[in-house]
Structure 1
Amino acid sequence: VSAVFSPAGGRVLTASRDNTAKLWDATTGDLLRDFVHEDQVSVHEPKVRSAVLSPSGRMVLTVAGPTAKLWNATTGDRLETFAGHFRHIASAVFSHDEKYLITCALDGRAKLWRLPRV
């Protein structure tokens, strides 16, 4: 469960126990987009733990358990699924040029992923 402002400050991205991330208009509070992370981690923990906006605000990353999913922030289309960790992903960060993503998990591993162009 998390919340973060977009780099420009006009939007807020939240992650929730209902297995979604939601993008909100920071001024009006209107819901702009839902991102549904379909994979249920377990019956005890069916939630998106965190969500991250890319530096430009064009991409959203949702994290649930050992899996991360990349979304187009404007259309809501899923662009990529990142799997490969054996334990929950604890943190994720985009490179400033949005070419790469790093995920760090409780399995003690960090993974570098190449991102698609958006």
Structure 2
Amino acid sequence: MRRGTLGALLVGALLAGAPASASEAPWTDSVDDGRGALGDVAISGRRDVLLCDLQTDDMRIGVEYTTSIGRHLLIEAGPHRGCRRDSVLFGEIREAMLCYGYDVNPEGGSLRWCNDRRQVR
């Protein structure tokens, strides 16, 4: 009986962390240099990230995001057209900030431009 109770608690915990609605619109952000879109990001269900570099140039696109368990993560796309996917297994994405530049790593020390950090809903 003890295993059954433990199993039920585990299933309940997993279901409690599931997104409320699979049809919920993703959180999105994009960057534009005035001549056209450079890149965009979509975060679905507060867990799945799709980041796309929309131009073949010398610039990179990056998204920094913070999870509910305190992790700070960065994924990059570019400098050529293409997309990258990432997902969060534990917790959920709470805040995100889309950046572009020659090096989007905040520790890189080079010039980058970022949209305001926003809460993911």
TM range (shorter): 0.3 to 0.5
Greater radius of gyration (CA): 2
* TM-score, length of structure 1 as denominator length: 0.34
Higher strand share: 1
* TM-score, length of structure 2 as denominator length: 0.33
Q: Which has the higher contact order (CA 8 A, sep 6+)?
A: 2
